[in-house]
Amino acid sequence: MNSKLKVAGITILAAAAAGAIAALIVRDQISRHQRNLFSSSALRRLAALGHMAKEAASVDNIRLLRDFIAWEPRRLLRERAAAIVRRMELEAAESAVAADQGAA
């Protein structure tokens, strides 16, 4: 019985450690993609926009993309970012309406 508890405890500890490491890796990848949004390489900026398009709508992401649109010299990338911002704004508005209806 005692050895089973030790194995269970070690397993839980290993799973928690793996989860923490995965969370750190994900956080690093997100910040790296956000940094690449203002890279000197247009290809990296395009890849960063692809990553941002998959992100959930948030005020921070919308503000970041608006800054990017104001900064970006290439029309194609500005238009792609503007499309992502429009989608995120619609999602944010829809979630705000749903929250208001849920509160009522």
Q: What is the mean pLDDT of the chain?
A: 88
Q: Can you say whether the dihedral through the CA atoms of 43, 48, 53, 54 is positive or negative?
A: positive
Q: What is the pLDDT of residue 33?
A: 67
Q: Is residue 81 a contact partner of residue 68, using CB atoms and an 8 Å limit?
A: yes
Give the residue numbers spanning the domain of 18: 2-103
Contacts of 46 (CB under 8 A, 6+ apart): 77, 80
Contacts of 7 (CB under 8 A, 6+ apart): none
In one letter, which amino acid is 21? I
C-alpha to C-alpha distances, 19 to 5, 13, 25, 29, nearest whole angstrom? 21, 10, 10, 15
Q: What is the pLDDT of residue 34?
A: 66
pLDDT (tens digit per residue) in 22-41: 888 877 776 666 678 898 98
3-class state of residue 55 by DSSP: coil
- Indicate the number of domains in the chain: 1
Q: What is the pLDDT of residue 11?
A: 93
